[in-house]
Amino acid sequence: MPLTDTTIRNAKPTEKPVRIFDGGGLYAEISPAGGKLWRLKYRIDGKEKLLALGMYPDVGLKDARERRDEARKLLANGVDPGAHRKAQKAAKAERSANSFEVICREWLEQRKDTVEPSQHVKTLARMENDVFPWLGAKAIAEITSPDVLGVLRRIDERGARYTAHRVRSEISRAFRYAIATGRADRDPCPDLKGAIPAPKAEHFAAITTPTEVAELLRAIDGFRGTFVVKSALLLAPLLFVRPGELRSAEWSGFDLDKAEWRYLVTKTKSEHLVPLASQAVAILRELHELTGNRRYVFPGRDPHKAMSEAAINAALRRMGYDTKTEITGHGFRAMARTILHEELHIKPEVIEHQLAHQVPDALGTAYNRTKFLKERQTMMQQWADYLGKLKVGAEVIPLNGQAA
């Protein structure tokens, strides 16, 4: 007789497993411990086999019958339902192993040692917040351009257009990694060129007029924060390197006797040399008394780590500056580029080399850290002297904009 739900529910365990049959090979097996497992007995190629269909009551009588009927349809077509299930599980496991999230995390981990720690953290956060919830579980080879576009539009619609473009680039790089490792055939991201409008150009806030620079320098002199942060503030306009390169500077790169700082530019992976003006050397020698026995010139709260990337901007805000509209740690570069050219009439190519920008010459040769070295040494000292005069108000700025 076919089973009823009441029969199954009231079935009691005994010392040995008990089977109660429903028909068509389906039965419930009650274990001595009281568990009730649905099983299907079937024959294929002359062999009798069993297929587990789930536990009762998680799988009710109706669901168990439906699973039995699905299995019998496979048998009618010559397919072993047990082997079919194993193939499905294997395919699911393969899809999971080749999911976008698994491969993207693998790519991020693989490049971790070649990017700034903060960049790794930010990229991972963007993926976890904006990409993985929608694409993470999908097999990377099955992701289409519309799938990616849906992710980008969600980001763009919340007003983060720049982030949307950045995420498209990062998704594309994850796909290229998948292609290189044999787990995808193509990158769908190039198909989306123009699908999200280009973001408006954003420039780092910077102070570029001599009178305002003078006020800023005096404000830095009056800063009442820690000695390490104040030293970084004093050096930022003198050196005008990228904020991340300044805060993560290591003493091993400095030769104060030669008045030089050498380091690897993270953006271009090229060696860079910064000639140090006498004013910068004096600040560094004083700071060396405090942090010279450590790795980092500007250690953070944890002495084994560099100063926080937010420290300079936080200090500028404490001094009353708006880091969105007036000046940021990165803005010292624009300050130097503008005034060196417009007020001190330094050749643009010399300035660009000191900014560690890739500047091909007439022969197409890329950036060389020693090129214009004598000119740059002179420029850096001239720049430091100029800032010193601005700070004390001794530099006269005529109406025609020429420094006297």
Residues serving a catalytic function are: 242, 267, 330, 333, 357, 367
Report d(CA 265, CA 249) in Å as an integer: 11
Backbone φ and ψ for 99, nearest 5 degrees, come out as -70, 160
Strands 254-255 and 260-265: antiparallel
Report d(CA 58, CA 101) in Å as an integer: 31
128 burial via Cβ count (<10 Å: 0-12, 13-18, 19+): middle
Task: Give the dihedral sign, CA 296/301/305/320.
Answer: negative
174: Cβ contacts below 8 Å, ≥ 6 apart: 100, 103, 104, 107, 140
Report d(CA 290, CA 284) in Å as an integer: 10
Cα separations (Å) of 9 from 2, 5, 55, 58, 62?
A: 14, 6, 12, 12, 14
Cα separations (Å) of 392 from 217, 335, 353?
A: 9, 18, 29
Other CB atoms within a 10 A radius of the CB of residue 114 amount to 10
Walk across the sheet containing 254-255 and list its strands: 254-255, 260-265, 270-275
